[in-house]
Each structure stands twice: as structure tokens, then as C-alpha cells.
Amino acid sequence: MKSVELFAGAGGLALGCELAGFSPLKVVEWDRWACDTVRENRDRNYPLVADWDVVEGDVRGVDWSALSDSVDLVAGGPPCQPFSMGGKARAADDARDMFPATADVIRQLRPKAFIVENVRGLTRSAFANYFQYIQLRLAHPDVVSHEGETWVDHLHRLQSDHTSTRPDELTYNVAATLVNAADYGVPQQRWRVFIVGFRSDLDAEWSFPTATHSYDALLYSQWVSGEYWDRHKVPTSQRGEIPQRAVNRVKALEKAGKPAERPWRTVRDAIGDLPEPKIGGDRKHLNHILQPGARVYPGHTGSPIDLPAKALKAGGHGVPGGENMLRRPDGSVRYFTIRESARLQTFPDRYELHGAWGEAMRQLGNAVPVLLAQKVAGSVAEHIAVAEFRAAAKARSAATDKRATA
């Protein structure tokens, strides 16, 4: 199946789609550093990106005409700054709001499905009307805004058209879901919104994949069975104590038994087999170089090694120290290396990030975890295949009935 990737960044969502069976026809990103990352991995003959056509520039300036009717999936994470908790939260008034541009690409390409990812801040009550506008805009890409029309007036028109679509109008069945990446095996508590749509002519009844991992399962493996510590060969004297806020939860798990889900993956799970980083790095591990200068201060205490990491942040003015630091059991801290951060975002070890530490961390902070992208895209691919099978079976049945009555 063929796909197009918008706002590709370092390639996390595109890699996940590739692993799920989609082949990107174009990978579009305006940031030159992120484009260099993808191109350098392609030029090193990394197989997942070997055939990617990387377009450095604004998605609004791309000529999509050659790809019309040949794309199964449009995927992308429009810039999150207009909706980020740490940003100015200007939404539609922010020049970086690319949701209208995303809808326009969908209108031109008419894909069977789309996957759009963004930050949890998009679901804030302050953005409720604009969040509805985004979903309706994606559901009805043919209903374009008029020149000079405000998004509020466009929303009113979309609300009206939502119940009275034309037979020839391009429409999508849209589902928006807020998820925690840790619940899907990513060693990071990263809350994100996924907006997924299937073209209305496809017989696809989709819902977000069921969570596979849980905090309760991690607590059970640490403080009931002890399997977590045994697997990592952590002696009893270094295991610490049950976190105070989890004591009652652990007692309940002792009675209830082992949860059905797998344990949340922790920082130790993700990076425990890597050697301690050194200044200058080593030849065996790409991007595994010590970055000095980490320190603790109020609000910036790092990610505990025996929990999923805090969400890696790109930062508007450099890289925040709290989210991008490792905190050891003794309370000492250091910055995550680029390789460790890539593992927390579930990038393959052979995938090299371009640029200095701060620049590479910015790319990773903006990325979609590869594993989560693969699980979402894999579910979408499966539903497209099932819908096409049903359509083909229905066509064969109709043809058989026609011959029988001839």
C-alpha cells in the first residue's frame, strides 16, 4: 500500500507506517536538519528509508497531481506549537497551524485513510470549538473555506453540511482518540491525540487498538512478583521501596493477581543494555555521547530509571532539563544521550540522528514513537485490506447474480 508523509520531522511516523506495510511515495518536511537526518539514513542504505522521496519544503507548495488516486494513506503530525501546553496556544491564529493544509492535501489525494497526530493540548477546553472544526474539516475536505471566511464561519458551514452531504462529496468517517504511548509498549509517558479517518465508501468500522501494557502490570512485576528486578539483576538492597502513592494499589494487586496486560516499559528496560556514555562517544553505538551539565532544580528532576520516561520535549528555547534527564535511584542525574532518547522514542539503533545534541533532541522531542505509529498504521492497513476484500466479494456476488438472471 502507498502512503504520503506530511510534516515528517525525523521520520518516526513514516518509519512506523513503513513497518506496518505502507511505502511512502513522498516524505515532506520543511526543517533542513530533520531532512538531513532522513536523507543521511537513506544514503547509508538503511533499508526502511532506502526508497523515500524526501521533499524539503512547505506541504502547501508541493505538486500532488502526479499522485492523484494512487495513495492509500496520508499521515502526518502538523506542528504542535499552536496547541502545546508550553506554547502560546494561539491555535488558528498561529501561522504554524497546518491542519487546513493537511485537509487540503487529503482533498487532492483522496486517500483511503489518514492518520493525523498531535499533542494532548489540542483537547483542552479552550480549544473545544477548534478541535471540532479540525475534525469536521478533515471529515469534509471538499468543503473548503471561502476567501476571507473566518474559521468560525467555516465551522458553522461544516456543521450544516455534516448532515446533508452531496452524493459525490468526498467524506471521511473520523475518530479522535487521546492515548498514552506507555500503554502500547513505548518506554515513555507521552500523551498524544490521534485523528484517524477512513473514506466513507470503504466498509471499515475502526476503533483505536486496545492497550497492551499497563502501570498496574508494572507495579505487579516490581512489588508483587519481583520479576522486574530479577530480570534486570537488581539486588534487593538497591530496589528501594514501594512509592507511597502506589502502596494501596500494590495491596489491591496482591489480592487481584497478575494483570492481563504486559508491564509498562521503563527507562531501564529501554537503555539498560547500553554502556555508560562517555565524552566523545564510542564506535559501537551511534549518537551515544555524554552531554555534561545536567542538574536538578525545582520542576526539573529528571525521569526515574524504573518508570517510563517523562515525555521528551523539543523546547521553544533550547531543551528543558527535567524531561530529558535520567534520574538514578540514588538521586543523581545526567542528560539522556541522543541514542538513549531515540530508544525512548523506539527508533531503531541503526537510525542516526543528524546534528548536535540540542538539535537532535529537538527532532526526537517532536517525533512520533515508531512503535506506536506502527501499531496505529498496522491497524489502519488491516482495516483497509478487510474493506477491500469485502468490496471485492460483494462485486463478485453481484456479478454472479447478474449471470444467473441473464
Q: Which residues are catalytic?
A: 80
The enclosing H or E element of 325 equals strand 325-327
State residue 398 phi and psi, 5-degree precision: -65, -40
Give the SS3 label for residue 216.
helix
The enclosing H or E element of 137 equals helix 128-139
- CA atoms of 265 and 285, how far apart (whole Å): 21
In DSSP terms, 76 is beta-bridged to 6, 116
What is residue 207's DSSP assignment?
Answer: -
- CA atoms of 158 and 216, how far apart (whole Å): 42
3-state helix, strand, coil in the chain (%, to 5): 40, 15, 45
Count Cα atoms within 13 angstroms, Cβ side, for 185.
Answer: 14
What is residue 208's DSSP assignment?
Answer: P
**405 contacts 380 by C-beta, under 8 angstroms:** no
**204 contacts 221 by C-beta, under 8 angstroms:** no
Read off the C-alpha cell for 135.
Answer: 475534525
Show contacts of 223-227: CB within 8 Å, 24+ apart.
223/250, 223/253, 224/250, 224/253, 224/254, 224/258, 225/258
DSSP string for 234-250: --GGGS----GGGHHHH
**263 contacts 308 by C-beta, under 8 angstroms:** no
Q: End-to-end distance of the chain based on CA atoms, in angstroms?
A: 37
**334 contacts 99 by C-beta, under 8 angstroms:** no
